[in-house]
Structure 1
Amino acid sequence: MAHQTILHATCVAFGPRAVLITGASGTGKSSLGLALLAAGGALISDDRTALQRRGESLLASCPAAAIHGRIEARGMGILMAPAQDSAEVALVVDLNAPAETQRLPPPRNTRICDVTLPLFFRPEGAHFAHALALYLSHGPAT
């Protein structure tokens, strides 16, 4: 069996591709996850995400049946959400990083489980979840 790592992260997929949202408690991982779900995504996992390298890809899944399909909504409690079992991580959002201030930021990468992935910081504005949904569904412009 391949090695599995569990990160303090939320993960939402659009089809076979997912965004891994990292950050400390209270940085907005679940809030961004909720916005992505409202945009048509499916929850892989909230708060804890299991990661496993498969070839040159990183596969995300829910580490425990008790949290599968459940996401925290501050002020409301735990909600049921559309979910899927796994997806390939296509990009990472780091909510610990300072807010993105550049209109067209330079390409950034991060490595998780020895897999290099595009890295984004949260910009100001309500468009971010929708931009992530488009990135996952259609990819970046080349």
Structure 2
Amino acid sequence: MAFCLFVVLLVLDQVVKSYVSTAMLLGETIPVVPGIFHITYILNPGAAFGMLAHQRWFFILAGIIIVAAFLYYYPRLRRQCGWFHYGCVALLSGAVGNLIDRIRNGLVIDFIDFRVWPVFNIADIAIVLGVASMIYAILYKMKDTED
């Protein structure tokens, strides 16, 4: 099931990014709900909010480290509660989706534009929901084994 989640999120991210990058011009915006939600094609040279712009090799290295750490710890992760396990899988899927962009283009394709927030993509959603799921698991679902 975890593998299916990983694949679905990664394929959805890459297919939509491919469509946006071929069907739209860079900087083009399509209002879905005018003034509230647009599809806007941009290339992001940094992380969230454009932080650490143009640090391509840093982000590629960080992505590779995340993948390696996930693979190393996965046997232990599988034994954790579902919220933590699947949160890690979602985070990995998002990290790999953006890593593919950085390796291919040096930049990440972003397109979801709510006008009051920086433009983002499906991989970013997977990362945020994965981390939120992990935090939820740590705070409310994981048993304290130190007793």
Smaller-chain TM-score bracket: 0.3 to 0.5
Structure with the greater alpha carbon radius of gyration:
2
Structure in which a larger fraction of residues adopt helix: 2
Instruction: Give the TM-score of the pair, scaled to structure 2.
Output: 0.31
Structure in which a larger fraction of residues adopt strand: 1
